A and B are shown apart, each in its own frame.
Chain A
Amino acid sequence: MTEISLNVLDIAQNSVKAKASLIEIEVEINTLQDFLTVIIKDNGTGMGERELMRVTDPFFTTRTTREVGLGVSLFKMSAEMTGGSFEITSKQGEGTCVKAKYILSSIDRMPLGDICATIETLMVYNTHIDFIYNYQIDGEGFSLSTLEMKEILDGVPLDTPDVAQYIRDYLGENTNAVNKGQIL
């Protein structure tokens, strides 16, 4: 993985697999306190204590097509190698919350990357799941909720090309407005 945003896409796929109906993704950047946090929270099936203990082990996976599971371990490593931290909490039947904290100025922090592409991909290709996305830099930000969009769209699906384009533009324009030229 070369971008934080690719990790986000990957970790959110776990929530999709866990049959979540709502996935909340939050990216918060604080340049003064020098951190970047990513939170991915779902209301999926969750994990029991035993599974939770093994989830950051690269040789643990629930899939049957291969024997390794690198997603969570790679995400954890990417945060910890900056001097940041990683936390995963889960409860069976309630959901899972993954939180990664990066030291913003660390030379080992990978770029945030194309977070808009990640959010767009998640929203457009998982129309049966709702997403609430929140992006903040130094207290200024925006959010996008598929719940709100679906209410306005009144049955027009999110994967309609015009709607997908709108989502792309919304994310792109608002991210640019908040970033104010900073490359993250």
Chain B
Amino acid sequence: MKSLAELKAIKEKMKGQVDMRAENEGNIRVVVGMATCGIAAGARPVLQKMAALVNEKNLTGVTVTQTGCIGLCRYEPIVEVHEPGKEKVTYINMDENKAAEVVEKHLAGGNPITEYTINESDLVK
């Protein structure tokens, strides 16, 4: 069984470091819809995947958070990307693979994947 003792070591390691994320003004905010509709459609693994990859790629200017129902339940899981000075990008019908792609191409690379955004797929339907 794992104990809380290891947490002390983490504290010692982190304590001296200034939290860069809190001070970063030009933050990109990634918001995952996590109401009943989102959760039922598979938002939990999407949120976890994005947070893990953002951490892995060390994208310090990106914060991944959750929100309630966005009001477009049939398009869940929904991921919104808010970037200061830019229009909000809304990704719909997300899954883990798409989430990984969004981190790679959009969050790290700076190019939104229009194929997965709400406007594009609305036209198809």
The tally of CB-CB contacts under 8 A between chains A and B is: 90
CB distance from B29 to the nearest CB of A (A): 13
Tally A residues with Cβ within 8 Å of B: 40
CB distance from B73 to the nearest CB of A (A): 6
Residues of A near B44 (CB, < 8 A) are: 6, 9, 114, 117-118, 121
Tally B residues with Cβ within 8 Å of A: 31
CA A65 to CA B69, docked complex, whole Å: 7
Contact for B40 among A6, A13, A152, A170, CB less than 8 A: A6
5 further A-B contacts with Cβ under 8 Å, apart from A120-B48, A155-B15, are A13-B34, A121-B44, A156-B11, A173-B2, A174-B1
CA A125 to CA B31, docked complex, whole Å: 11
4 closest residue pairs by CB, A with B: A65-B71, A71-B36, A161-B55, A156-B14
B115 lies within 8 A of chain A by Cβ: no
Residues of B near A184 (CB, < 8 A) are: none
Which B residues are closer than 8 A to A by beta carbons? Answer: 1-2, 4, 6-8, 10-11, 13-15, 19, 34-37, 39-40, 44-45, 47-48, 51, 55, 65-66, 68-71, 73
Which A residues are closer than 8 A to B by beta carbons? Answer: 1, 6, 9-10, 13, 17, 63, 65-66, 69-71, 74, 114, 117-118, 120-121, 124-125, 142, 148-149, 152-157, 160-164, 166, 169-170, 173-174, 177
